[in-house]
Structures are given as C-alpha cells and as structure tokens.
Chain A
Amino acid sequence: MRILKGNIFAVLAKIIFVTVAMSVLGYAMITSYGTGDTPFSIFFGVCILLLAFTYFTNISVPLKFFAPGLMFLAAFVIVPVVFTLSMSGFKYQTGNMISKEDAVKTIVDQGTEPDAEGTAFDVVVGYAGKNKNNTALLSTKEVEGSIDPNQELIAFDAMVGYYGGDVNNIAILATDSYEQIPYAFFIATQTQFIPITKGQVTTDDWGIAQTAPNFKTFTNAQLNDVADKLLGLRFQYEQNIFIKLDLMPIDGLTQASLNTLVANYDYYLATKDKYVKLDSKTVESNPQGYGYKAPGFTAYTDAELGKYSEKLGSFRFKYKDPYFLRLEGLPTGGVGFATVNVQNLTYDKKSDTVSSYLTKATYKDDGRGNFRNTKDKADYLDPGWRQGIWFENFTNLFTEPKIREPLIAVFIWTIAFASLTVITQFSFGLLIAMALDKKIRGRGVYRSIMVLPYAMPSIMSILIWAGMFNDDGAINGLFNLNIQWLHDPWLAKFVVLLVNLWLGFPYFYLISSGSLQAIPKELAESASIDGATSRQIFRLITLPLLLRMLTPLLIASFAFNFNNFNIIYLLTGGGPEFSFGSLAGATDILISYTYKLAFGQTVQDYGLASAISVVIFIIVASISMYGIKKSKVLDDFA
C-alpha cells in the first residue's frame, strides 16, 4: 500500500487535510441537495470522488498536484463558461427569469380577483375546535344600523350647503332654537361636527343661522343636483349618533333630527372547508362589535399568530363557492381584515393551459416562455419562464434591427478602440524607447517617472482622469475652457483613447526598450557602413525585427483592450448615448454593452447578453490562439 510509505507526519497531515476538505464538500453536497439544487450537489459529489481517488490511491501523480486548482477552475471558470453557453440558448430576461413550474405557481397564486362588490370583513384569527392547526376566522359583518325607537325627537332648523369651499363636502348649518343640546349653532358634515358661536353667524328674523365661516348655502340648482341622495346622508354628531334631514329643503332650509345608530352584527365562522353563520347571542364581542370568542372558536395568542404567520398570508378560507376569504396582511391588535376573492386563473396540467374564470379566456403556452391568450395575441400572463429557443438569441443579433443597429456601431468602435489603442501605445512607447536607448543624463529619472502610470492602480487613475475631463473638471478649469468632453461622441472617443494611451504607453516603452537591446548592434553598424541612413536602418532593420519579436504581445494587448471593461465603464460609462434613452453609447465597447444588457437598471436580458458574450469569446479566443501560435510559446513543452 502506497499510503503507508513516507514520513508518518506527512501521511497524517495529508489524511487530515483531505478528510477535512472532503467533509466540507460533503456538507455542501448535503445542504445543496436539501434545498433542491441537484446540479450543485452533483458537482460537490464529483469533487469528493476526485479528492478520494487522487489522494488515497495512486492512479495519477500529476493529478495530485492539479486537483485543488482544478476544482476552483472548474467551479468558477469552466462552469460559468458552460453556463454562459447554455444561457445563450434561452429566452432569459426580465419577466422570463424563473422555471416554468415556478411561473405556473406564481400565476395561479397571483391569479385571484376580489369579488365585484369588494366585500370585506373584520376578522379575528384563531382555530376551530381543539386542533390549533385548524385555522379559522371569526368574521364580523356589520349590517345596516337602525334608529333607536326610544330616542326622543331632537330636531333642528338647518340650512343645507357645503363646507370648506368643496361643493362635494355637503354640510348643514343648524340652529338649536330650543336649547336641547349644548350648542346653539353648529355645522355638521359627513365626517365633522363643528360647534359655532353666536358671533360667527348671521341670523334671519327667526333667529335661524344663515351664514357661517366656510359654509355656503346651496342654490336651488345645486340642491337639485344632490336631491337624490340628500335624505340618505348621515351628518356627524357623536359616535353612533348622527343627523339626518327629515324633509327636502326649500330655499336651502329644512328640518334635521338626531338619530341613534344601533349597529347589528352578523358573525360567521370560516375554516378551510366550512363557512357557517353563528348565532349572534353566543358570540362574545368587544365594544367595537368585533366578535372574538364563540363556541368552537378560540383566537390565536400573539405568539401563535407569529408562529402561523407564514401560512396565514396565502391561506384560503371557505366562502360561497367559488369565492373564498383571504387575509389582507397580518392582524394587528388582534383584529385583521379579510376580503372575498375568486380564483380567476387556473392551470390545467393535461392541456397545459391557463384559463380565466371571469373572462373565460384560455391562455396557451406560446412556446416562447409565456402563456398567451388564444384570442388576443397581445394578452399574455406575467411572469413568463426561461424558455429554450436554441439559436434565436444569436440570429436576433443579425435580424432584429433594434438589437443589430446599436450592436454594429458598438462592434465597429470596439475594433477601432482596440486597434487604435495598440497603435498609439506601441508607437509612442517605441518612440520613447528609441529616444532613451542611449545612455543620456537623467535616463533613470525619466524612466521612473514614466513608469508611474503603469504602477498606479488603473482603477484609481481612470477615476482621476474621469474627474479631470468632467464638465467642471480640472482640464476645463486649468485651461479656462468650457468643453463638454464626455458629452460629445467624438470628443468622448478621443478622451478614451488619450487616457488609454496614458495608461499603456509605459508598458510598451518598457518592452520595446528591452527588445531594442536584444537586437544585435552589428546589424545597424554594418548597414551604416554600407551607407544606409538612420531612417533606412529603422525602417528596414529595426522595425521589422521589433515587430516580429513583439507581434504576440501586440496581439495580446489587442485582445486585452478588446475587453477593456474598466476604462469604458469608469471613464464614460459607455456614454454619450446614441439617442435619448438608448442603452448603448458612443464609447461603449462590446463588453460594456453586454454588461448593461445583463445588469441594466430597467431591463435585464441574460439570454442576449450571453449570446454576445459567446461571440466575444470566439473573437478573442481566435485572436489569442493566433497570437499563441505566432509566439511559439508552447513549442518548448511539446
């Protein structure tokens, strides 16, 4: 057995290490399986097997070195790449983010409608019988109050009008000529009772108030408009006591009298499958009339309410079929609120359709991730689900004008940006390298200053440049200009290139100066003996040799800048946008545009973003592979 060989401590350490790693992975496998994420638990399982076979058998020595790194690469590089590839085959965007199963569930859950009258009850939540799980509602319904027959008639003279300048706020200005109540004059609206002093009113010959602050008497025409409902109105007096008009007003004047409201309540017990009216006499109610205790019903305590809160939110209590009762929010202070609803949308698994109870419409799976009305193509149900659409995201890149046009502009700029960046960085870098190729005084100082942009964290320097080119930035301030650098498409492009030149020229200076030294001096010397000018030497000898040496690096730089997300995102954010509200902007390169597509503020389209990502990868990979071939970097390891 190989396992027994070697230093005992090393073997022990290995066993402990691998076992700990395996148990962590095992724990992850079990929990992920527990939450239903099978692909993840399979991945963890494979990792465990890999570790076990690599370290406890001797199948492959190199694998012992690769296994840990391989696991990380697989999890965070290879899997995401494969995931990106597969996402590009789906309609996967805002509104179509979840699985069909979840979408159906959400549609049905949300597919309820309140009844036409909007019936609602005040309810106390508890349980029926002895089983606390048998959740029940004791619902209280107020039935029309009646006038107390024993009330002695208290009547006033009243002017009918409106209060507070709002014609709809009907009010009476009443005069208590017989001193039946503490107030000689008052205004009553449907919600307010306002006592008034004698000084505030003007009275007529009989002492009846005619005007008062904020009160205006109706004209006859205005009275006509409200005549229908006037006698039914209740004006505020006190709790449970209100004022009603006894007669239709004549020229605004009428008689009004006090009425006492005696509320009557009906009580119902609703459980999952029962809805029964209770005998009012057996129900104990609080002063507001809410029933809270009845034979066979016990209210939940606050602690029990907390315990059942999750279940209560979507619990359906029986009402008259097909309607049911549902709590609107959780009860506060013991009393809740329940509404009458009907299940409007139902899903039929066999035919894979959703039908509406109220409109009788049928919604069919349209094969594009939504249930769509069979009669009205514009009507579909939300949410949809992510639907496999094969290569449609790719073909859309070419056929859908809304996608294609910005994409073409972005693509052209991406190429231009990457190549111009490489050209400017390389040519200026080379120029400096040639200037400093001779041992002149101060070369070291020049060199260390010029390396600064390269040494500085690029995030910081890009943000600094962004601030300098801001409308109120340092560039405008120093040179006393008033140029909107980042709001003009061409200026913004120029700024991006300039900043990128600043970021990158030191790199090309460093590598060019290294390569210049690698070119044998004899070549230039013999050429100059043969009478070549220094320009000819550069054009015919130095440059071709340099280019041959540096081509792989130029290609790598091109590939890097092709995806140089940071500079675009931090400097201009891709802007200025092509037209108001368009996603893409004049300085957007493919990668920043893709980022906006996938993580946009309003709409997110993972499917399309992934498709573009795949296209980018193919481009970058081919450029890079070409560069690798050129550099022959792999030849040493054949």
Chain B
Amino acid sequence: MIKFFSWLRHNSWRHFIGVFFCLFAAFPLYLVVLSSFSDDQSLRSMNFLPNSFVFDNYKILFTDPDVPFLTWMKNSAIVASLVSVFSVAIGAASAFAFSRLRFKGKRAGLQALLLIQMFPSVLALSAIYVIMERVFVFAPQFGLGTFGGLVLVYLGGSMGVNIWLMKGFVDSIPLELDEAAKVDGATAMQTYWQIFLPLASPILAVVTLLSFIGLFNEFIMARLFLPEKESRTVAVGLQSFIGGQYSKNWGPFAAGSLLASIPIIIVFMALQRYIIGGLTAGSVKG
C-alpha cells in the first residue's frame, strides 16, 4: 500500500501527462477512423462511440467517377517517386563533394545552400509561375499545367534540402576507407563511384524516402500546376473534393485521408530512428 502511494506521488503526474497528451494526439485520428466507417453523414450527430461499421465511404473512393482517388494516389506516387529518386541521384554527388572534398568557397557554398533551404519556395511562387508560363511556349510538355513541369520545379526546390540532409548523414560515414583509396591513387571520381556510393546506399535510400514523404505533403505548387481533376495529386484532390463542404463529403474524405496517410505513417515509423537523428541537425519537417 505504501508502495502504491509512493508510486502515485512520484509517477502519477507523469502518467497523467502521458495519457492527456496521448488523448490529444489521438483524438482527431480516432474521430477520422470512426467516421470513415460510419454510415451517418451528419457530423452533428457524431458520437464518441461507433454507431455503425460499414465500408460505404471506402466504396465511394473506388467507384465514384467524381472522386478518382486511385488516380490521385497514382499521380502523387509517380511525381513523388520520380522527384525523390532523381533529386537524391543528382544531389548525392554534391553532398559527397561538400562532405569529402577540400576546395575554395566550400564554406560560402554551404552557407548559401543553408540560406536556400530557409527560403521557402512559396516566396518564389509568382516567379516560378511566370517562368513556367514562358517555358510552356517553347516546351509544352514541361510548362505550366504538366506533370513534367511539376517534376522539374520539385527537383529544383528539393535539391537544397536533400543535399544538406545527405551531407549531414554522409559526415557520419568514417573517412578511413576513402583515405585508403586515395593512398592507392584513386581519383575523386573513382572514390565516389566505387567506394562512396556502395557505402552510402542505405543513407541515400533513407533520404529518398524522406524526400518522398515531403513531396507527398506538397500542396501549393501541385495545386497551381495541375488544376485538372484527373491530374491532381492526392493532397490537392482531397482538398478540392472537400472544398469547404465538410458536412457533405466528410465520410469519404475521412476514408481517403486515412488511406493516403497510412503508407506515409508506416514509412515514417520505420525510419523514426534516422529522422530523429536528422532532427537535431536542424531540419524541420514541413
């Protein structure tokens, strides 16, 4: 009994805070899960406990031609994977150079890169819009309103973040191997292709996935670039589908946002260790 009171005094407040914030964190998610299985469209009559369990809302997502959810998911997946793979493939070389080579202007370059990372692309939105409008004139397949154009813009926008992120990870790879290669007379290029890339491949995979998550979350550019219903990404599609009419479309929306989030949550949980390691390096998830 005394033991219990002592526990209460020392640990109960910890559990109180833990439970309270778990409730806070889970509250909206719980409601979303609940309403995605509910057949009651009215949010007004919502309850804390489930009153029905049907799959109607999910069915709408896969059958209603007004909500091409699968197309949206596919669009998001294609754009995000193309961009994350290419931007890591291109950025890895720069990350290697920043991490391993000695050259003039390295500090200035890093500083500039950091500033670029701090410079959110929303600011340059009007400029990118005008630029892509002009690109459309001579390269219609890469201009405004095309997947190609969006991929290019994303590639440019994610380059800074990815180089910085990869450089942070790469710094943690021990130097001995590439120094040994240098002693053997390998050029920087040979070191990069034959020593560095095989060693860094797990890191590159992680950064690719992180980049994928970030792109999946992108909204403004996607909305500006792909206004057609069939070419929207899932974020834009669901937003336009709900379009302020939460009371009307809430059920299917809840189902859709759950389906769209689950893969990301799984990837995130799997990568938690790396992400939290990266957090302290100063990257902020957006």
Which A residues are closer than 8 A to B by beta carbons? 6, 10, 28, 31-32, 34-35, 37, 40, 60-62, 64-66, 68-70, 72-73, 75-81, 83-84, 87, 428, 431-432, 435-436, 438, 440, 442-443, 445-446, 448-461, 463-468, 470, 472-474, 476-478, 502, 505-507, 510-511, 514, 552-553, 556-557, 559-560, 563-566, 569-570, 591, 594-595, 598-599, 606, 609-610, 613, 616-617, 620-621, 624-625, 628, 631, 633-634, 637-638
Contacts and interface: CB of A to CB of B under 8 A. Distances in A.
A478 B114 CA distance: 45
B201 interface: no
A556 B127 contact: no
Interface in B134-162: 134-135, 137-139, 152-153, 155-157, 159-160
A617 B123 contact: yes
B123 A448 contact: no
B78 interface: no
Contacts of A64: 93, 188-189
Contacts of B15: 440, 442
Nearest to B193: A10
A66 B97 contact: yes
A477 B46 contact: yes
Interface string B245-282: 01100100110010011001100110010001001101
A474 B254 CA distance: 12
Interface of B: 11, 13-15, 17-19, 21-22, 24-26, 28-29, 31-32, 35, 42-48, 87, 90-91, 93-94, 96-98, 101, 103, 106-107, 110-111, 114-116, 118-131, 134-135, 137-139, 152-153, 155-157, 159-160, 163, 187-190, 192-193, 213, 216-217, 219-220, 224, 235, 238-239, 242, 246-247, 250, 253-254, 257, 260-261, 264-265, 268-269, 272, 276, 279-280, 282, 284-286
A68 B22 contact: no
B14 A435 contact: yes
B18 A446 contact: yes
A452 B134 contact: no
Given A37-B138, A467-B253, A455 B269 contact: yes
A451 B138 CA distance: 47
A478 to B, nearest CB: 6
Contacts of B264: 455-457
Contacts, number: 310
A435 B13 contact: yes
26 contacts: A6-B189, A10-B193, A32-B138, A65-B94, A66-B94, A77-B159, A79-B131, A84-B126, A432-B17, A435-B18, A440-B11, A453-B25, A460-B260, A478-B31, A478-B46, A553-B284, A563-B123, A569-B219, A598-B125, A598-B129, A616-B123, A621-B118, A624-B114, A634-B107, A634-B110, A638-B107
B282 A553 contact: yes
Given A69-B93, A467-B246, A449 B217 contact: no
Contacts of A77: 116, 119, 121, 124, 156-157, 159-160
A459 B219 contact: yes
A-B pairs, top 8 by smallest CB distance, nearest first, are A76-B156, A80-B124, A65-B97, A83-B127, A80-B127, A455-B268, A467-B246, A472-B247
Given A452-B29, A474-B35, A570-B219, A436 B18 contact: yes
B103 A62 contact: yes
Contact of B137 (A37, A451, A460, A476): A37
B interface, over-half SS: helix
A interface, over-half SS: helix
Given A506-B25, A507-B285, A566-B220, 18 more contacts: A65-B94, A65-B101, A69-B90, A69-B159, A76-B128, A76-B157, A436-B18, A457-B235, A460-B261, A464-B28, A514-B276, A563-B120, A563-B123, A591-B120, A616-B123, A617-B123, A628-B114, A634-B110
Contacts of B216: 457
Contact of B139 (A31, A474, A594): A31
Nearest to A625: B115
B127 A81 contact: yes
A34 to B, nearest CB: 7
Query: Which has the most chain A C-beta neighbours within 10 Å: B26, B97, B119, B272?
Result: B119
B119 A620 contact: yes
Contacts of A624: 114-115, 118
A450 B156 contact: no
A585 B235 CA distance: 24
A213 B260 CA distance: 69
Nearest to A460: B257
Contacts of A606: 126, 130
A515 to B, nearest CB: 8
Nearest to B256: A460
Contacts of A87: 126-127, 130
Contacts of A456: 29, 261, 264-265
A595 B280 CA distance: 31
Contacts of B13: 435
A464 B257 contact: yes
Given A436-B14, A510-B276, A556-B284, A40 B217 contact: no
Nearest to B279: A511
A472 B246 contact: yes
Nearest to B117: A624
A432 B253 contact: no
Nearest to B124: A80
A431 B111 contact: no
A465 B242 CA distance: 12
B110 A451 contact: no
Nearest to A635: B107
A448 B101 contact: no
Contact of A477 (B44, B103, B127): B44
Contacts of B272: 451
Given A436-B14, A460-B238, A624-B114, A476 B153 contact: no
Contacts of B111: 628, 634
A65 B127 contact: no
Contacts of A454: 268, 285
Contacts of B242: 463, 467
Contact of B90 (A68, A459, A617): A68
A34 B138 contact: yes
A71 B257 CA distance: 36
A609 B35 CA distance: 40
A84 B124 contact: yes
A309 B286 CA distance: 51
Contacts of B43: 467, 470, 472-474, 476-477
A552 B283 CA distance: 11
Given A65-B96, A435-B18, A477-B43, A73 B125 contact: no
A84 B122 CA distance: 11
B281 to A, nearest CB: 8
Nearest to A443: B18
Given A65-B192, A440-B15, A595 B28 contact: no
